[in-house]
Amino acid sequence: MDLAEGDGDATASELLRAQAHIWSHIFSYINSMCLKCAVELGIPDLIHNHGRPMTLLELVSALHVQPTKAHCVCRLMRVLVHSGFFELQDVEEADRQTGYALTGASRLLVKHNPSTAAPFVVPALEPYSMNPWQYLSAWLGDREDVPSTFEMAHGIPAWELVRRNPRVGGLFHEAMASDSKLIAKLVGDTCGGVFEGLSSVVDVGGGSGTIGKAITDAFPHLKCTVFDLPHVVDGVVGSERLKFVGGDMFVEIPPADAILLKWILHDWSDEKCIEILKRSKEAVSGRGKVGKVIVIEIVVGNQTEDHRSTETQLFFDMLMMVNLNGKERSEKEWEKLFVDAGFSGYKIISHLGLRSLIEIYP
Cα distance between residue 224 and residue 172, in whole Å:
23
Residue 231 annotated to the active site:
no
Model confidence, pTM: 0.89
3-state secondary structure of 248: coil
Q: Among candidates 232, 287, 222, 211, which has minimal Cα distance to 254? A: 287
Residue-level pLDDT at 5:
54
Mention every residue, 6+ apart, whose C-beta is less than 8 A from residue 2: none
Q: Is the pLDDT of residue 249 over 80?
A: yes
**Which residue would you say has higher pLDDT here, 42 or 186?**
42
CATH of the domain at 328: 3.40.50.150
Q: For residue 6, name the pLDDT band (cuts at 50, 70, 90).
A: low
Residues 280 and 178 in one domain: yes
Residues 146 and 288 in one domain: yes
Do the domain assignments include residue 12?
no
Supply the range of the domain harboring residue 95.
Answer: 29-107
pLDDT tens per residue across span 183-231:
887 877 777 688 888 899 999 999 888 889 888 888 888 999 999 999 8
Q: Please give the backbone phi and psi of residue 203, each rounded to the nearest 5 degrees, phi first.
A: -95, 100
Mention every residue, 6+ apart, whose C-beta is less than 8 A from residue 330: 299, 300, 301
Do the domain assignments include residue 280?
yes
Q: How many percent of the chain have pLDDT more than 70?
A: 96
Residues 269 and 299 in one domain: yes
Q: Contact at 8 Å (CB) between 214 and 184?
A: yes
Residues 97 and 152 in one domain: no
pLDDT tens per residue across span 57-67:
999 999 988 88
CA distances to 93, 182, 247, 316 from 206, in Å = 51, 14, 12, 20
Provide the b/e sequence for 199-234 (b: ≥16 CB within 10 Å): ebbbbbbbbbbbbbbbbbeebeebbbbbbbeeebbe
Residues 193 and 334 in one domain: yes
Q: Is the pLDDT of residue 157 over 60?
A: yes
Residues 96 and 123 in one domain: no
Mention every residue, 6+ apart, whose C-beta is less than 8 A from residue 343: 277, 281, 293, 360, 361, 362
Q: For residue 255, name the pLDDT band (cuts at 50, 70, 90).
A: very high
Residues 123 and 103 in one domain: no
Alpha carbon 276 to its chain centroid, in Å, reads 21
Alpha carbon 25 to its chain centroid, in Å, reads 21
Cα distance between residue 263 and residue 28, in whole Å:
26
Do the domain assignments include residue 203?
yes
Residues 155 and 207 in one domain: yes
Do the domain assignments include residue 276?
yes
Q: Is the pLDDT of residue 2 over 80?
A: no
Residues 182 and 296 in one domain: yes
Do the domain assignments include residue 7?
no
Residues 171 and 92 in one domain: no
Structurally, how many domains does the chain consist of? 2
Q: For residue 1, name the pLDDT band (cuts at 50, 70, 90).
A: very low
Residues 98 and 135 in one domain: no
Residue-level pLDDT at 86:
98
Q: For residue 359, name the pLDDT band (cuts at 50, 70, 90).
A: very high
| Mean pLDDT confidence for 280-302 | 88
Do the domain assignments include residue 96?
yes
Residues 180 and 33 in one domain: no
Which is the catalytic residue, given 48, 50, 154, 266? Answer: 266
